């Protein structure tokens, strides 16, 4: 297609790659935390719940800065990684994934938690009495029934990543070809001259991608919900 410059294609590709990796990164921790919040009780649970939702209410730039302090080359954890293993995450596309994942994590946990809460724990009891271990019960009964919610959570994480700006620009930087995702590209274009047409193009694409993701999520939810209720 010639109506997108090569740089814009790079931006799109990078955004897509980061968003997919973000969804993959939050999948298992998100399901685990969602299950813990839905099915278990322990002292301090509401504190943990609040802490998990922190990225939703903190300014994204602050979150990005905290990530930098934690995982930057001189950070608490990042320093160790860099000095002993030569691993540096900040200012690479992996940092963009980490930033997106942290911001999207609460959304995933919420979606999973609601989905699991809607499954009947009595079905778990039935499975247990038939000989299924708790893990098998989770994998064969709870998870399939919660599938619509989990899919919705993953797609939400994907869409959130597409729009993630504040934490990304602080933790991953705004490096063309490396960490300049769609929102950062729009921001950069707005800072420069004659970028109006490009801004519009990228904004249109952002909207199309997000819309598409959300529509797909809606469709999936309906299809799985119908299957789950045995209406097929």
Q: Is the CB of 54 or the CB of 199 nearer to other proteins?
A: 199
CA–CA separation, 139 and 133 (whole Å): 10
Among 10, 54, 62, 145, binds other proteins (CB under 8 A): 145
Q: Which helix (H) or strand (E) holds 136?
A: helix 134-137
CA–CA separation, 217 and 154 (whole Å): 9
**Angle subtended at Cα 65 by Cα 202 and Cα 105, rounded to the nearest 5 degrees:** 65
Name, in order, each residue with C-beta under 8 angstroms of 148's C-beta and a sequence gap of 6 or more: 115, 220, 221, 224, 225, 228
199 Cα distance to chain centroid: 25
Q: Using alpha carbons, select from 108, 129, 115, 15 the residue that is nearest to residue 53.
A: 108
Under rule CB under 8 A, residue 231 binds other proteins: yes
Under rule CB under 8 A, residue 136 binds other proteins: yes
Q: Is the CB of 47 or the CB of 84 nearer to other proteins?
A: 84
DSSP-derived letter for residue 58 is S
47 Cα distance to chain centroid: 22
Among 8, 14, 37, 94, binds other proteins (CB under 8 A): 94
DSSP-derived letter for residue 142 is I
Any idea how long the chain is? 232
Under rule CB under 8 A, residue 140 binds other proteins: yes
For CA atoms 42, 47, 51, 56, give the dihedral sign. Answer: positive
Under rule CB under 8 A, residue 44 binds other proteins: no
Under rule CB under 8 A, residue 177 binds other proteins: yes
Give min distance, CB of 47 to other proteins, in A: 26
Under rule CB under 8 A, residue 41 binds other proteins: no
Under rule CB under 8 A, residue 17 binds other proteins: no
CA–CA separation, 81 and 227 (whole Å): 47
Under rule CB under 8 A, residue 48 binds other proteins: no
Under rule CB under 8 A, residue 133 binds other proteins: yes
Q: Is the CB of 184 or the CB of 211 nearer to other proteins?
A: 184
Under rule CB under 8 A, residue 220 binds other proteins: no
Q: Count residues contacting other proteins (CB under 8 A)? A: 68
Per CB under 8 A, which region of 11-19, 33-41, 87-95, 204-212 contacts other proteins? 87-95
Under rule CB under 8 A, residue 199 binds other proteins: no
Binding stretches for other proteins (CB under 8 A): 21, 24-25, 27-28, 61, 65, 68-69, 72-75, 78-79, 82, 85-94, 97, 120, 122-123, 125-134, 136, 139-141, 143-145, 169-170, 173-179, 188, 190-194, 227-232
């Amino acid at each position: 297609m010639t109506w997108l410059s090569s740089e814009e294609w790079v931006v799109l590709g990078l955004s897509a790659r980061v968003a997919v990796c973000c969804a993959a990164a939050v999948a298992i921790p998100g399901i685990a935390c969602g299950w813990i919040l839905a099915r278990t009780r322990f002292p301090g649970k509401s504190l943990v719940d609040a802490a998990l939702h922190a990225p939703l209410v903190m300014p994204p730039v602050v979150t990005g800065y905290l990530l930098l302090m934690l995982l930057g080359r001189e950070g608490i954890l990042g320093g160790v990684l860099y000095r002993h293993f030569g691993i540096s995450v900040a200012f690479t596309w992996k940092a963009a994934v980490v930033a997106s994942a942290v911001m999207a994590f609460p959304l995933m946990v919420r979606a999973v938690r609601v989905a699991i809460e809607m499954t009947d724990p009595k079905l778990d009891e039935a499975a247990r009495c038939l000989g299924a271990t708790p893990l098998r019960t989770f994998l064969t009964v709870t998870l399939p029934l919660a599938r619509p919610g989990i899919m919705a959570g993953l797609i939400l994480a994907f869409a959130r990543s597409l729009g993630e700006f504040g934490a990304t620009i602080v933790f991953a930087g705004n490096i063309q070809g490396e960490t300049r995702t769609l929102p950062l590209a729009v921001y950069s274009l707005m800072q420069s001259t004659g970028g109006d047409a490009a801004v519009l193009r990228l904004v249109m694409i952002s909207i199309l991608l997000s819309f598409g993701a959300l529509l797909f999520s809606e469709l999936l939810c309906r299809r799985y919900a119908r299957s789950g209720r045995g209406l097929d």
